[in-house]
Chain A
Amino acid sequence: MQDFVWLIPLMPLISAIFLMVFSSKLPPTTVGFFGTGSVGMSALLTCNLTWGYLKDPDLFTVSLWTWMKVGELSANVGFHIDGLTIVMMMIITCVGFLIHLFSCEFMEHDKSYARYFAYLNMFVSAMLILVMSDNLLLLYLGWEGVGVCSYLLVGFWYQHSSNGRAARKAFIVTRIGDTAMMLGLLILFTELGTLDIQSLVSSAQVRWQTGDFMPTLACLLLLAGAAGKSAQFPLHTWLPDAMAGPTPVSALIHAATMVTAGVYLIARMHSLFIISPHAMMVIAVMGVGTALMAAFSALVQTDIKRILAYSTISQIGYMFLALGVGAWTAAVFHLMTHAFFKALLFLGSGAIIHCLHHEHDIFKMGGLWKRMPITFASFLIGSSALAALPFTSGFFSKDLILLSAYQLEEFGPILWAGGLLGALVTALYSFRLVFVVFFGRIQTLPNKENGWRIGLPLTILCVLSLVGGYFTLPLSNLFPMETNSHPATWVEVVSIATPLFGLLVAYILFIKIPSRIPKSLTSPQENTISRFLFSGWKLDEFYDRLLVSPYVRSTSILLDEPLDKLYNTIVLVNQKLHKWLSFSQSGRMRWYMVSVAIGFIILLGIAIAIPRGLSEW
């Protein structure tokens, strides 16, 4: 199996190229077959690999060819397989396969069916390369590759220029992070002389002391890259807009896989981050801050996908919190469960949108639970897992994160309290979503029942969201041992009770006394605070004023090439001189004679002066 591991990312890639080249000539069924089948094959191969790994867990590296070898830089196109990679690969291929299957039906009537699957396959391939690569340069290839696929898919319906803008915003904001990450790579390479992850990490541990400046700087730059990709404050503003893409894309890219690439990167480089406690602290604070910020924003959104987008930002904030407090396994665990339940929620919302004539506003939905039972079940399970109600998958992972945070010395309890507040708000907004959409009065009638290609992925993801918490991840050898002494009982009790309390509040607000729902939770333009939260804490406006407008204004100055003014001045001077000279060409014989005479006298004067002077000059 180890020899064929390169087939896993290659399969979707070949399918992508095939679909791209022959896009216009293929019937939709063939397109769906190739698009979904290639990912399915990858998933099967990955399962096989995982099976082998679980039986005999030893990590290995496969080098395909020398990518570049210049001076001391040597980068292979090679894959490194260990527990973390296996977990990521399983998530990508299996969830990816389900989402491809879902897309077959969801996108059935789109004219650019082949293009859609080509992009989606390309994304899976790039994401696999990202998690499998054995050096940072190849990782960067996957990293940028998923960024471009995200750009292409967000802007998939290119006729609407707002989609184009959202796609550009997504790409450029993440590109800012990517550039910081590139600088991080430059530092790491210059300081350590290699970009191979394993040797880099080991030589970093030898070379640097805990708390040195250089590793902190490098870690912070890598963190900036991770924050861009994983939509963490201050680079998170692209994610809500990225919901312009087709819903399965949001499920795959902007919930389950790509946005967790930052978490993967930090987990992958954890040995480097351990050297820098300051960077770890920054990660934890950033995580909690983002989790809270996004959760509050999610509370007032009205667009079903934007609620989920903010909740994704918020959940990844929890993963960052886990990374920041050194609970690596908890972070990856939450990554996995989140992939299940968030993909489920997004696909569920896709099913609703599919049946409700592309309606996104939750207040125009309502009473859907009877009409769409499967979707209702999936939303119920997904929201429970998101809110971390006991015994769902999200419960185990989030509980682990919160307890780990509590145990951190010094700031632990504060981080824990922040996380807890976030959990409360999470429960509130996730059940606000469920109650508003599925209960109450029917506002829009669903036009049809969804077929098996939508139903099956939803069912499987429901099961996974329920039982995902009982999986044991093969990560034990990878991360340093985490101290799992149990904190005081009241901490655990509070952690478990908070989401339930949130559920209760949501129930009271939206079911029991729906007439007294605070206005700020239904129409966010109502008051200042909700307007502020609705706009994502006004960050877009802030960036617009601070960066975008000055940039656009300064480029408009450059439009007419100010430098040409300089060259035009030279031209002007020449033209003036030309006028003067042509003026001297008067055509008067006597004037010429005079100038000849004067010139002669001057030359004579010079001829007399120079022989004396030249040797002295």
Chain B
Amino acid sequence: MQDLVVPLNHVLFVSTLLFTIGMLGLMIRRNIIFILMSLEVMLNASALAFIAAGAHWGQPDGQVIFLLILSVAAAEVAVGLGLVLQIQKRFNSLDMDDANRMRG
């Protein structure tokens, strides 16, 4: 177990910051592209935390999970962009609130 160049706390702080930025993006933006981007940011934030933790304890699990997240993110973007295209076609807009058919 060796010390990192950058202390763990700092990495985690950055990760939290990124996560918060992504979350705020989700809460504030209406444009569906931005929402997708915010999601990616959040995923990356958690991936960063995994990497840092894995490095800190010298365990490979962190990197494994990072790879998993990476692939999930790729798949998600693929599906998400497909949905974006569909929404653009149907509603002629990229505004999320135009598609709120599920209102109770």
Out of A585, A593, A594, A597, name the residue touching B104 (CB < 8 Å).
Answer: A585
A597 → chain B closest CB, angstroms: 6
Identity of the chain B residue whose Cβ is nearest the Cβ of A584 in the assembled complex: B104
The answer to the question of A66 belonging to the interface, with a C-beta cut-off of 8 Å to chain B, is no
Out of A587, A593, A597, name the residue touching B100 (CB < 8 Å).
Answer: A587
Interface of chain B residues 28 through 50 with chain A (CB within 8 A): 28-30, 35
Are A590 and B26 interface neighbours, CB within 8 A?
A: yes
Are B102 and A593 interface neighbours, CB within 8 A?
A: no
Residues from chain B with a CB closer than 8 A to the CB of A581 are 104
Residues from chain A with a CB closer than 8 A to the CB of B35 are 589
Residues from chain B with a CB closer than 8 A to the CB of A583 are 104
Residues from chain B with a CB closer than 8 A to the CB of A597 are 23, 27
Are A585 and B27 interface neighbours, CB within 8 A?
A: no
Give bound CA distance, A588 to B100, whole Å: 6
The answer to the question of A528 belonging to the interface, with a C-beta cut-off of 8 Å to chain B, is no
Residues from chain A with a CB closer than 8 A to the CB of B28 are 590
Give bound CA distance, A594 to B28, whole Å: 9
Contacts between the two chains (Cβ within 8 Å), count: 36
Give bound CA distance, A136 to B50, whole Å: 91
Residues from chain B with a CB closer than 8 A to the CB of A527 are none
Give bound CA distance, A594 to B103, whole Å: 16
Are B97 and A588 interface neighbours, CB within 8 A?
A: yes
Are A593 and B26 interface neighbours, CB within 8 A?
A: yes
The answer to the question of A582 belonging to the interface, with a C-beta cut-off of 8 Å to chain B, is yes
The answer to the question of A586 belonging to the interface, with a C-beta cut-off of 8 Å to chain B, is yes
Residues from chain A with a CB closer than 8 A to the CB of B101 are 587
Beyond A590-B26, A590-B27, A593-B27, whether A582 also contacts B104 by CB under 8 A is yes
Q: Mark A558-590, 1 if CB is under 8 A from B, else 0.
A: 000000000000000000000001111111111
Are B100 and A594 interface neighbours, CB within 8 A?
A: no
Out of A582, A590, A594, name the residue touching B30 (CB < 8 Å).
Answer: A590
Interface of chain B residues 6 through 20 with chain A (CB within 8 A): none
B90 → chain A closest CB, angstroms: 16
Beyond A593-B26, A593-B27, A597-B27, whether A586 also contacts B96 by CB under 8 A is no
Residues from chain A with a CB closer than 8 A to the CB of B23 are 593, 597
Identify the interface centre among A581, A583, A587, A594: most chain B CB within 10 Å of its CB: A587
Beyond A588-B97, A589-B35, whether A594 also contacts B27 by CB under 8 A is yes
Are A587 and B30 interface neighbours, CB within 8 A?
A: no
Residues from chain B with a CB closer than 8 A to the CB of A585 are 102-104
Residues from chain B with a CB closer than 8 A to the CB of A589 are 26, 35, 96-97, 100
Identity of the chain A residue whose Cβ is nearest the Cβ of B29 in the assembled complex: A590
Residues from chain A with a CB closer than 8 A to the CB of B102 are 585, 587
Q: Mark A190-222, 1 if CB is under 8 A from B, else 0.
A: 000000000000000000000000000000000
Give bound CA distance, A581 to B104, whole Å: 9
Give bound CA distance, A594 to B26, whole Å: 9
B80 → chain A closest CB, angstroms: 13
Identity of the chain B residue whose Cβ is nearest the Cβ of A578 in the assembled complex: B104
Are A587 and B26 interface neighbours, CB within 8 A?
A: no
Q: Mark B79-104, 1 if CB is under 8 A from A, else 0.
A: 00000000000000000110011111
Identify the interface centre among A582, A586, A589, A597: most chain B CB within 10 Å of its CB: A589
Residues from chain B with a CB closer than 8 A to the CB of A590 are 26-30, 96
Are A586 and B100 interface neighbours, CB within 8 A?
A: yes
Give bound CA distance, A318 to B95, whole Å: 102
Give bound CA distance, A583 to B103, whole Å: 8
Identity of the chain B residue whose Cβ is nearest the Cβ of A597 in the assembled complex: B23
Identity of the chain A residue whose Cβ is nearest the Cβ of B26 in the assembled complex: A593
B19 → chain A closest CB, angstroms: 11
Residues from chain A with a CB closer than 8 A to the CB of B104 are 581-587
Residues from chain B with a CB closer than 8 A to the CB of A587 are 97, 100-104
Give bound CA distance, A582 to B103, whole Å: 8
Identity of the chain B residue whose Cβ is nearest the Cβ of A582 in the assembled complex: B104
Residues from chain B with a CB closer than 8 A to the CB of A594 are 27
Residues from chain B with a CB closer than 8 A to the CB of A584 are 104
Identity of the chain B residue whose Cβ is nearest the Cβ of A581 in the assembled complex: B104
Give bound CA distance, A584 to B102, whole Å: 11
A138 → chain B closest CB, angstroms: 70
B56 → chain A closest CB, angstroms: 22
Give bound CA distance, A231 to B30, whole Å: 90
Q: Mark A410-449, 1 if CB is under 8 A from B, else 0.
A: 0000000000000000000000000000000000000000
A437 → chain B closest CB, angstroms: 87
Interface of chain A residues 579 through 611 with chain B (CB within 8 A): 581-590, 593-594, 597
Residues from chain A with a CB closer than 8 A to the CB of B27 are 590, 593-594, 597
Are A586 and B26 interface neighbours, CB within 8 A?
A: no
Beyond A593-B23, A597-B23, whether A586 also contacts B30 by CB under 8 A is no
Give bound CA distance, A217 to B4, whole Å: 100
A589 → chain B closest CB, angstroms: 5
B10 → chain A closest CB, angstroms: 22
Give bound CA distance, A597 to B26, whole Å: 11
Identity of the chain B residue whose Cβ is nearest the Cβ of A600 in the assembled complex: B23
B81 → chain A closest CB, angstroms: 17
B46 → chain A closest CB, angstroms: 14
Give bound CA distance, A588 to B97, whole Å: 6
B101 → chain A closest CB, angstroms: 7
Give bound CA distance, A589 to B30, whole Å: 8
Residues from chain B with a CB closer than 8 A to the CB of A588 are 96-97, 100
Give bound CA distance, A587 to B29, whole Å: 15
Q: Can you list 13 A-B pairs, Cβ within 8 angstroms, ordered by A? A: A582-B104, A585-B103, A586-B100, A587-B100, A587-B103, A587-B104, A588-B96, A588-B97, A589-B26, A589-B96, A594-B27, A597-B23, A597-B27
- What are the 7 A-B residue pairs with the smallest beta carbon separation, nearest first? A585-B104, A587-B100, A587-B103, A582-B104, A593-B26, A589-B96, A593-B27
Inter-chain pairs besides A581-B104, A585-B104, A587-B104, 20 sampled, C-beta below 8 Å: A582-B104, A584-B104, A585-B102, A585-B103, A586-B103, A586-B104, A587-B97, A587-B101, A587-B102, A587-B103, A588-B96, A588-B100, A589-B26, A589-B96, A589-B100, A590-B26, A593-B23, A594-B27, A597-B23, A597-B27
